Structure formats: structure tokens, C-alpha cells
Amino acid sequence: MHIFRHISSLREALLAERQQGKRIGFVPTMGNLHQGHLALMKKAKSRCEIAVASIFVNRLQFGLNEDWDQYPRTFESDCQQLNAVHCDYLFFPEEREIYPNGMDGQTRVIVPTMTDMLCGASRPGHFEGVTTVVSKLFNIVQPDEAVFGLKDFQQIAVIRHMVEDLCIPVEIIAGDIVREADGLAMSSRNHYLTESERSRANQLNKTLNWVKAQIVAGDRDYVELETEAQSQIIAAGFRVDYLQVCSSDMLTPAALDDTRLTVLGAMYTEAARLIDNVSLELPMSNP
């Protein structure tokens, strides 16, 4: 695996690969890699001749009281794991390489839809930071495909919207959520969980699947389902950020005639905020 710290040298190396007709797949990360990230890398490698990863803890997508400075930096371990899944190139820039003119005057990329709800409502400015850095990384790497995990369902929807609006020639590929044995979605923030919390942290996934099962069984009172689901999470000792049944396409609250649904939830532990989602497709009703 070749490691690059600078944009110019990475571009030069990837241009040589591109000129040989090789397809380039890209997985942007913030490091502290786990099996979920590695599954995305394997997907990129299976679809493209060249697999590129980036590790950059993007200050712009963290709020004032969030964990940017405490976010785990595990570069040596990350490199070992990326080597094991045959990553070809790793981009590991310093902040001044990505934001050469500083943060205050940085040009921002703003997606006006789907960013002020759900995670966007509780993390103001978060998606602006995501879309800004992802657009920069796409310009740097110029991949044919980019793979993102479905755990961040809203993020994928926002990035797809950005790519379409800005005519960026990148195909966005979704990778399945990778889970622990008890159903907890793998996340870099899971290490914040206390031992007591860890034994109960799969409650979010259990609750989302309960909502899904009720809908499949015919219950369409989405507001009542959301209220009961939030009660389940509170009873397990956690604080609810949101839990909502949404249209999978627009992430708006689900209407009775929607057939593609996603149930999204976020909850707070003592030191972490965990997110998860489950999707389902209902048969179309007869006219």
C-alpha cells in the first residue's frame, strides 16, 4: 500500500493508473477502522482495479461540543488493516493540506435539502462539513466509484444529492451495515461505551426492528409506533435523539402511500451518540 500526505503526489500516482484504463474505487474515512470500514474497502476492491482510502478527521463536521480532539487516532493499526484487505493507496493529509487557507475562509458546499432534519437537526453544520470535505476529496482522488456505509443512511442520501446537483462523475455505492453478534452497528464511537452500556447498546437496533415488524404486520400509525419505540429506548436507560419512520427516498416523515420506508434512530449514552436504521419495502396497494 502506498501512503501519500500531499495532493499533488497522490494525483500523479492515480493519473498513471487511470491512463492504464484502471477503474478507481474510493472509501473516505476518519480512521479508527473496524470491520465495517474494511467491508467497504473489500467492496471497492471487488468492483474496481484500484482501491483508495483516505484518513482525515475532519474538524469542519464536528460541532463545538463534540469529540474532534478526543476522536481516536489509530494510524498504525489502520494501516495494518488496510494492508490486509489489499488497499492500494492511502491518502493521509494534514489539515493544512485539505484547508490551505484555514477554516474560517473555507468555501463551503451546502446541500439545502435533507440536512436540517434527523442528524442534521441535532448536529447543526455537520452535513455542511461532510459535503465540503467529501467534494474536496472527490476532486483530489477523482474516483469512478465511492463506497459509503449504510449505517449513515442520511449521509449517503445527502452525498448522492450533492453529486447529482454538482454533476460530479462519481457513482455512489452503498455498503451494508456490519454488526456485532448482538446486532449493535459497528462504529468508531462504540469504544466510548461503558461495560454496562455495552450490554444494552443493541437496544436501538432491537427497537428499530420492532418498529419494522409492526409495520410489516400492518400497523400504519407511524406516530404511535415512534412514541412507543422511544419509550423502549428510554426504559433501557438511554436518551433518545430521534426515532422516525421516513420515506427512504426523501427522508421526510412517511406517508400512508409510501412503500419504501426506512426507520432511523439515534440515541445518547453517557459519552456517545449512536445511530442506526432499518429499511423495508411494502407491497403497493391496489387502486
179 forms bridges with which residues in the sheet? Answer: 185
Specify the CATH number of the domain 2-175.
3.40.50.620
The edge-to-edge listing of strands for the beta sheet with 273-281 is 239-247, 260-268, 273-281
Q: Rounded to an integer, what distance in angstroms lies between the CA atom of residue 174 and that of residue 72?
A: 25
232 forms bridges with which residues in the sheet? Answer: none
Confidence class for position 286, pLDDT limits 50, 70, 90? low
Q: Rounded to an integer, what distance in angstroms lies between the CA atom of residue 61 and that of residue 124?
A: 9
Q: Could you write out the three-class secondary structure of the chain? A: CEEECCHHHHHHHHHHHHHCCCCEEEEEECCCCCHHHHHHHHHHHHHCCEEEEEECCCHHHCCCCCCCCCCCCCHHHHHHHHHHCCCCEEECCCHHHHCCCCCCCCCCCCCCCCCCCCHHHHCCCHHHHHHHHHHHHHHHHCCCEEEEEHHHHHHHHHHHHHHHHCCCCCEEEEECCCECCCCCECCHHHHHCCHHHHCCCCHHHHHHHHHHHHHHCCCCCHHHHHHHHHHHHHHCCCEEEEEEEEECCCCCECCCCCCEEEEEEEEECCCCEEEEEEEEECCCCCC
Q: What are 30-86's pLDDT values in tens digits?
A: 999 999 999 999 999 999 999 999 999 999 999 867 778 888 899 999 999 999 999
Confidence class for position 287, pLDDT limits 50, 70, 90? low
Backbone conformation region of residue 246, classed left if phi is above 0, alpha if psi is from -120 to 50, else beta: beta
Q: CB-based burial of residue 209 (10 Å sphere; 0-12 exposed, 13-18 middle, 19+ buried)?
A: middle
- At 69 the pLDDT is 85
Annotated binding site for beta-alanine: 61
5 CB-near residues (< 8 Å, 6+ apart): 92, 93, 94, 97
- At 70 the pLDDT is 83
Residues spanned by CATH 3.30.1300.10 within the chain? 188-279
Annotated binding site for ATP: 30-37, 149-152, 178, 186-189
Confidence class for position 268, pLDDT limits 50, 70, 90? very high
Q: Rounded to an integer, what distance in angstroms lies between the CA atom of residue 286 and that of residue 279?
A: 22
- What does the mean pLDDT of the chain come to? 96
Q: Annotated catalytic, 191?
A: no
Active-site residue, from 2, 37, 86, 126:
37
Q: Does residue 9 register a pLDDT over 90?
A: yes
Percentage of the chain modeled with pLDDT above 90: 93
Instruction: Please give the backbone phi and psi of residue 126, each rounded to the nearest 5 degrees, phi first.
Output: -60, -50
- The angle at the Cα of 52, spanning 49 to 57, to the nearest 5 degrees, equals 165
Confidence class for position 274, pLDDT limits 50, 70, 90? very high
Confidence class for position 215, pLDDT limits 50, 70, 90? very high
Specify the CATH number of the domain 188-279.
3.30.1300.10
Q: Does residue 3 register a pLDDT over 60?
A: yes
Q: What are 140-191's pLDDT values in tens digits?
A: 999 999 999 999 999 999 999 999 999 999 999 999 999 999 999 999 999 9
- At 193 the pLDDT is 95
Q: Does residue 285 register a pLDDT over 80?
A: no
